Structure 1
Amino acid sequence: MADDQTTAKESPLFADNELLELTITAPFTNMMRERSADEEAAATLSYRDVVDGEVVLDVGIRTRGRFRKQKDICTFTPLRINFKKGATKGTLFKKIDKVKLVTHCRDGSRRYSQSVLREYLAYRILNTMTDDSFRVRLLHVTYIDTNPKKRQREDFAFFIEPDDRLEKRLGLKVQDIPKTTISSLDGAHTNLVSVFQYLIGNTDFSPIKAPEGEPCCHNHVLLGTRNDSMLSIPYDFDMSGFVDAPHSAPNPRFRLRNVRIRLYRGRCMNNARLATTLQAYTDRKADIYTLLSGLTQLSDQTRRKVKRYIDDFYATIEDPKRVNARLQEKCI
Structure 2
Amino acid sequence: MRNPKHLFVALVLLLHLPFYSCGQEKAEPVAGALSLFETLVHRDSVTVTIDTDWGRIIRKKMEEEYQRAHVIICAGADTLVDLDAQVASRGAVRKQVCFNPPLKLKFGKSDLRNLGFDGHHVLKLVMQCTMGGGGESLAEKEMAAYGLYRILTPQSFRIRPIRLIILNKGKNRENNIFDGFIIEPEKELADRMQGQIPKRETCSVLMVERPQFNRMAVFQYMIGNTDWAVANLHNLKVVKVPEYHKLIPVPYDFDYAGMVDAHYAVPTESLDIKSVRERRYLGFSCSEEDADKLAAEFLAKKQEFLAFCNAFPWAEDRTRRSVVKYLDDFFEELENPRQFRYVFGNGINHK
TM-score, normalised with respect to structure 2: 0.84
Residue aligning to 2:235? 219
- The one of 233, 236, 253 aligned to 2:250: 233
Residue aligning to 1:88? 112
Residue aligning to 2:88? 62
What is the CA RMSD across the aligned residues, in angstroms? 2.4
Residue aligning to 2:21? none
- The one of 98, 115, 118 aligned to 1:74: 98
Aligned AA (1:177) = R
Aligned AA (1:115) = L
Q: What displacement does 1:296 show? A: 3.1
User: Which structure: larger Rg?
Assistant: 2
Question: Is contact 1:11–1:96 with CA below 8 Å preserved after alignment?
Answer: no
Question: Is contact 2:95–2:102 with CA below 8 Å preserved after alignment?
Answer: yes
Q: What displacement does 1:297 show? A: 3.3
| Residue 119, structure 1, aligned to residue 119, structure 2 | no
Identical pairs, percent: 25
Q: Which moved more, 1:281-290 or 1:235-244?
A: 281-290
Aligned CA distance change for structure 1 residues 151 and 329 (closer, same or farther; 3 Å):
same
- The one of 171, 174, 182 aligned to 1:151: 174
Q: What displacement does 1:274 show? A: 3.3
Separation in 2, partners of 1:98, 1:225: 24
| Residue 99, structure 1, aligned to residue 123, structure 2 | yes
Question: Is contact 1:40–1:62 with CA below 8 Å preserved after alignment?
Answer: yes
Q: What displacement does 1:117 show? A: 0.6
Aligned CA distance change for structure 1 residues 127 and 271 (closer, same or farther; 3 Å):
farther
Q: Can you give the 5+ residue segments of structure 2 that lack an aligned partner in the other structure? A: 1-26
Separation in 2, partners of 1:268, 1:255: 18
Separation in 1, partners of 2:238, 2:182: 20
Q: What aligned pairs does 1:1-332 form with structure 2 within 5 A after superposition?
A: 1=27, 4=31, 11-16=38-43, 18-49=44-75, 52-53=78-79, 55-70=81-96, 73-89=97-113, 94-108=118-132, 110-207=133-230, 209-210=231-232, 217-226=233-242, 227-268=244-285, 272-332=289-349
Separation in 2, partners of 1:128, 1:3: 28
Q: Which moved more, 1:139-148 or 1:220-229?
A: 220-229
Deviating above 4 A after TM superposition, structure 1's stretches of 4 or more consecutive aligned residues are: 5-10, 49-54, 90-95, 269-272
Aligned CA distance change for structure 1 residues 10 and 48 (closer, same or farther; 3 Å):
closer
TM-score, normalised with respect to structure 1: 0.89
Count the aligned residue pairs. 321
Separation in 2, partners of 1:82, 1:64: 12
Q: Can you give the 5+ residue segments of structure 1 that lack an aligned partner in the other structure? A: 211-216
Aligned CA distance change for structure 1 residues 11 and 270 (closer, same or farther; 3 Å):
farther
Question: Is contact 1:80–1:98 with CA below 8 Å preserved after alignment?
Answer: yes
Separation in 2, partners of 1:105, 1:92: 33
Aligned AA (2:41) = F
Aligned CA distance change for structure 1 residues 53 and 330 (closer, same or farther; 3 Å):
closer
Q: Which moved more, 1:198-207 or 1:270-279?
A: 270-279
Q: What displacement does 1:257 show? A: 1.4
